[in-house]
Amino acid sequence: MKRTGMLLALALAACGGAQKSTQPIAATSEDASGEAMANPSPPPSAGDPMKPDRDDQLVPPVDDEAPTPAEPAQAPAQVEPARPAAPQQAMAMLTAVKNGKDVGTVTFELGSDNVIVIQGDFHDLPPGKHAFYIYENGDCSSKAKKIGKHLDPTKQKHGPPSSATRHAGDFGNIEIAKDGTGTFQMNTDSLSFEPGRADTLTGRALVVHAKADNARGSAGAPIACGVISARDAGMSAE
């Protein structure tokens, strides 16, 4: 009996110790549980970049506005080459049709208001009045048979220099003295030095005829002819 009582006492003592040892553990568990309830961990938010909901949220955002394309480089402006200045002087050396002898010189010079001043000096020509014209073609060969028609860029009728309607190449008459000499002077705005124009005087034939000018422009055969050519300013006519 004594032995049985001792065993029972030991068992009770063991149970009591176990309750004492487990009581603080339970309290600790309750404290930990209470702290967990007081500070719960927040669930991950849907838009948190550190915790993406989908894999495609890892792709960096794309700018919807397309970049402005660069403007194409402009081609350099085409620069036209400068045209050579038109001559302001011209000259014709006249020779006799029958023998090629020099019989005179005629000069053309640009004056004010685009008026061309014409001056001529003649010698060794028959005395009297002789028609004096500019022709289309600058070819005095074959006794001046290739000169064409009177220079007429505006399609007018033949007339004297004083007429408002006349060929631009109608210069009227030159008058030669008994000694075979004579002079001529005239101003006109019906001609030009500009190459390529219908009224340009350079490259044309300048002709003295055997007879005087008349209303029909039929003044006989050419007796002297020369081609008008541009010349540099200051060049001597001799």
pLDDT score for 159:
81
Residues 18 and 127 in one domain: no
pLDDT score for 21:
46
Q: How far apart are the first and last CA of the chain?
A: 176
16 part of a folded domain: yes
Residues 96 and 205 in one domain: yes
Helix (H, G, I), strand (E, B) or coil at 30: helix
Query: pLDDT per residue over 7-17, tens digit each?
Result: 555 555 555 55
235 part of a folded domain: no
For residue 42, is pLDDT > 50?
yes
Residues 104 and 196 in one domain: yes
pLDDT score for 165:
81
Are the CB atoms for 212 and 131 separated by under 8 Å?
yes
| Paired tokens of 235 | 């060049």
Mean pLDDT over each residue of the chain, to the nearest integer: 78
159 part of a folded domain: yes
Q: How far is CA 156 from CA 138, 165, 215, in A?
A: 21, 6, 13
Query: pLDDT per residue over 102-155, tens digit each?
Result: 999 999 999 988 899 999 999 999 999 999 999 999 999 999 999 999 999 999
For residue 216, is pLDDT > 60?
yes
How many domains does the chain fold into?
Answer: 2
Task: For residues 56-76, give the mean pLDDT.
Answer: 61
202 part of a folded domain: yes
Give the CATH number of the domain where residue 221 resides. 2.60.40.200
Long-range contacts of the stretch 31-38 (C-beta < 8 A, 24+): none
Q: Are strands 128-135 and 116-122 parallel, antiparallel or unpaired?
A: unpaired
111 part of a folded domain: yes
Residues 140 and 216 in one domain: yes
Are the CB atoms for 115 and 188 separated by under 8 Å?
yes
Classify burial at 170, counting beta carbons within 10 Å of its beta carbon; exposed 0-12, middle 13-18, buried 19 or more. Answer: buried
Residues 24 and 93 in one domain: no
176 part of a folded domain: yes
pLDDT score for 31:
45
**Host domain of residue 96:** 89-230
Residues 6 and 102 in one domain: no
